[in-house]
Chain A
Amino acid sequence: MPIYSDKVMEHFMSPHNVGDIEGADGIGEEGNPVCGDMMTFYIKVKDNRLEDVKFKTFGCGAAIAVSSMVSDMAIGKTLDEAMEITPGKVAKELEGLPKNKLHCSNLGAQALHKAIDDYRSKQKGKGGGKK
């Protein structure tokens, strides 16, 4: 029995939204404290919505599938909606993850949230604060 669900394999074999965004509005980088891996999310924001999301991941099959799924889930959402993407929801969309790989889904959600935080703090910095 394969350790990963079909959905995980699908995203792992052909991940969506791999890459970076030139002049991204926000960048979030998260290291995995458990195994030492790393994810970087890039976001493009328009009218308070995630117009584009891209990622780079150094990690296992689950981490790559998680990144792909998180990017799919995030694109088109408002920033507040995207902040509601939790590791649990990501794992559920992936039709489950092995127990010892659940931490990889934390990594994905956190990296995305960090990118949004980064965008928001930049906005504040600009003094515009178009929250």
Chain B
Amino acid sequence: MRKVYLDNAATTPVLPEVRQTMLPYLDELFGNPSSLHDWGDAAREALAASRNQVARLIGATGNDVTFTSCGTESNNLAVKGLALARQKKGKHLVVSAIEHFSVMHSARTLEKMGFELSLVPVDKYGAVDPAEVRRRLRPDTVLVSIMMANNEVGTLQPIKEIGRITKEHEIVFHTDAVAAAGQLEISVDDLGVDALSLAGNQLYGPKGGAALWVRKGVRILPQLDGGIQEEGRRPGTENIAAIVGLGKAAELAKDNLADRAKQMSRLRNRLLKELPPRLGHTDVTGHPTNRLPGNASFVTHFIEGEAMLMLLNSKGIAVSSGSACTSRALKASHVLSAMEVADELAQGSIVFSLGIDTNDDDIDYVLEMMPPVVERLRQMSPLYAKYVK
């Protein structure tokens, strides 16, 4: 059976070149970078090289990159570490309503610790209005965190405009670029951000290698206590193999960014354009054009996402859904709710996240397989029966 993996927002495969670069570090180059002998030297060298590769991807300098274990850790470190380092100045945070849970729940934890949290709403496309950010700033605001692109609906956020506002108010600005890194051109100076999270497993690197970039001179409190690894910002023995993999993945992403984005955007546009008419009663979610190259997301009326996902899986197609039934908590995606998509419609959420290997045949196959899946579930749906009547 044909296998079509369109869930790259969950995680990407590891590129063969990336894997090759990692292998020696699981083998003879096993040293601890804190050690002062040859073994340690080799590991230290690898760390430094990876730092530069990651920095290059985002237009930064290597010294300001801290390695972590995953995007969630980077976001926890950023939100909590930046806010807590400034609590003498104030205890107010501003984050958007569509942040990843690793940002959202970090902010909620700070709330329990006495911080106040302002959520910035989004429009029907899932975009933040910079003016809405500005309106929420207060003299005691110490951190703004807005993601660069949303992982569920793909909408790009006006980071540059928000960066101008936070700069004007001298407020630290963090962006979660986990979904964006590797798909969008990033220059931290151009964006005007002070901290940025990214993760290797979203850009064809391994799980276990991620990073938080923090602008030089911006104070941050470590969220783990331990030694002086990563300048004390992230103590703990470094996962060298994963970090080396992240570095290589970042390098490949940087070198091929434009080609990858062009190819993915073209195929994404095919889905956005061709799928709704084939299915009927199907709406694109997120911004029609200003979105991640790899994201094509929809809501299909009258049916539920998990059932769609399972039937597609039986055809070899991997997707995801923001329906309540697919979430452990049985709540509709907070992103779709923030966009004021009705709960019933959000149930029909389906998200295709394309990868760098996705091709026209894959898209053809999806376009061919989707209509019977949807039709079958509609025939089962009491909502559809009511609609037809």
Contact between chains at A58 and B302 (CB < 8 Å): yes
CA distance A2 to B5 in the complex (A): 17
Chain A contact residues: over half helix, strand or loop, or mixed? mixed
* Stretch of A32-40, A88-96, A113-121, A123-131 contacting B (4+ beta carbons < 8 Å): A32-40
Is B36 close to A, CB under 8 A? no
Whether A38 contacts B307 in the complex (CB less than 8 A), given A13-B314, A100-B328, comes out as: no
Is B257 close to A, CB under 8 A? no
In the bound complex, residues from chain A placing their C-beta under 8 Å from that of B343 are 36
CA distance A60 to B380 in the complex (A): 12
Which among B302, B303, B344 is the interface contact of A36 at CB below 8 angstroms?
B344
Please tell me the size bucket of the interface on B: 20 to 34
Is B324 close to A, CB under 8 A? yes
Q: Which of A47-96 contact B (CB under 8 A)?
A: 56-64
Measured CB to CB, the closest approach of chain B to A17, in angstroms, equals: 11
Contact between chains at B330 and A57 (CB < 8 Å): no
Contact between chains at A37 and B304 (CB < 8 Å): yes
Is B226 close to A, CB under 8 A? no
Contact between chains at A60 and B307 (CB < 8 Å): yes
Contact between chains at B380 and A61 (CB < 8 Å): no
Q: Which of B339-389 contact A (CB under 8 A)?
A: 343-344, 347, 379-385
CA distance A103 to B325 in the complex (A): 11
The digit string for B67-98, where 1 denotes a CB below 8 A from any CB of A, is 00000000000000000000000000000000
Whether A64 contacts B325 in the complex (CB less than 8 A), given A35-B330, A37-B304, A56-B385, comes out as: no
Measured CB to CB, the closest approach of chain B to A87, in angstroms, equals: 16
Which among B314, B325, B332, B384 is the interface contact of A59 at CB below 8 angstroms?
B325
Is B306 close to A, CB under 8 A? yes
Whether A57 contacts B324 in the complex (CB less than 8 A), given A12-B310, A36-B344, comes out as: no
Which among B306, B307, B311, B330 is the interface contact of A34 at CB below 8 angstroms?
B330
Contact between chains at B382 and A60 (CB < 8 Å): no
Contact between chains at A56 and B381 (CB < 8 Å): yes
CA distance A40 to B386 in the complex (A): 11
Contact between chains at B304 and A59 (CB < 8 Å): yes
User: Can you report 9 residue pairs joining A to B where beta carbons are below 8 Å apart?
Assistant: A29-B382, A34-B330, A35-B324, A35-B325, A36-B343, A40-B385, A56-B381, A57-B381, A64-B307
Beyond the given A60-B325, A100-B328, please list 5 additional residue pairs across the A-B interface where CB-CB is below 8 A.
Answer: A18-B380, A37-B347, A57-B382, A58-B383, A103-B330
